[in-house]
Amino acid sequence: MTMAFVGIALLGVSTWWGLEYVLHRFVGHMPRGRTLFSREHRRHHAEGDYFAPTWRKALGVTPPLLAAFGLLSLGIGWALSATYCLGLLAMYVSYEVFHRRLHTHPPRNRYGRWARRHHFHHHFMNPKANHGVTTHFGDIVMGTLDAAVQIAVPERLAMSWLVDEEAGDVAQPYREQYRLVRLKR
């Protein structure tokens, strides 16, 4: 029985990776500001350091999670249903922390460098591509993967970790992967 709980928790975790892509692409971008989620997402793109308040995200996540729990409970029982939902919720919370850190902290390892380039290519180069944040599998399956080249970051949206304030340019470790774009005055 323990393996069933581990398996169903991992299924919940795995479900997030598909939801991440679907929510980002079809709920964040396609409504073009006609829904609250889409407006919040557009604001995040326009103000790189803006993240919707946690309470607002919790209000958006709670009803679908409770609905999933209720429906699953009918088929697999409340204990396995709760385990699935906890796995899904744990991955969602991890995603939220990870996504914020992409914007606020420098990369520490190869995956961190990849994730930032992949994600910031979406933000600053091609918002119709690279909808996955933690993984690019959804982009591969859906044909929206776009190779991240040198990322042109508008100066007003540049992340603090990216810029060397003294030089007024991209910090040395990131100059091959990023460049600042200044508005012409």
**Domain with 98 in it:** 2-105
Looking at 8-165, which runs of residues are DSSP E strands?
A: 151-154, 163-164
Residue 89 falls inside a structural domain: yes
pLDDT attached to residue 185: 65
pLDDT attached to residue 111: 97
Residue 57 falls inside a structural domain: yes
Residue 79 falls inside a structural domain: yes
| Rg (alpha carbons) of the chain, rounded to whole number | 18
Tokens linked to 21: 């892509």
pTM of the predicted model as reported, rounded to 2 decimal places = 0.90
pLDDT tens-digit readout, 126-144? 999 999 999 999 999 999 9
Task: Name beta bridge partners: 181.
Answer: 154
Tokens linked to 175: 């100059």
Domain count for the chain: 1
Residue 68 falls inside a structural domain: yes
pLDDT tens-digit readout, 153-166? 999 999 999 999 99
Sole residue written with tokens 């902290």: 105
